[in-house]
Structure 1
């Protein structure tokens, strides 16, 4: 019986403590959403750039296999293309860092 009474007192204390901390939850919610948004942004960008780089290297290796004499031209174009593809992920990283560390 005594433990039931103690449990009831703790439950009432928890119920009355929640409104006292309600104001802080709004600011915390915005931060939580910004962390989720930053994670999704960099995750989707990494997925897209990974697929794009895979397709680019696939096409380059197939082109080199068909015409080994064009290795220099294909390799140069592939490296430039990979740099442009990777820059999209770097831009997403910059945006994610801005979302995380700029005070709104």
Structure 2
């Protein structure tokens, strides 16, 4: 098992397909969980969450996954906080914080 979300054990994309109605439902849930983890700033829990999710998609799809999760998390912030809070990608030597998390998830 790579990780568990909402009581579902996830190892592969097939597990996601069996556990959630759609891939979009899964991404919405991951974005919500990621937002909760990032509330207090980047942490090991957030790192583990995003790293685990990245491992279930092919490497060629990870950049798009990062963008999609960021878009969904930004949308959640907009709805919850009415524009008063925004997702900002912290810059590291390797690029953005979320990008570096997904890049390392090989």
TM-score (norm 1): 0.30
Structure with larger Rg? 1
Q: Which has the higher strand share?
A: 2
Q: Which has the higher helix share?
A: 1
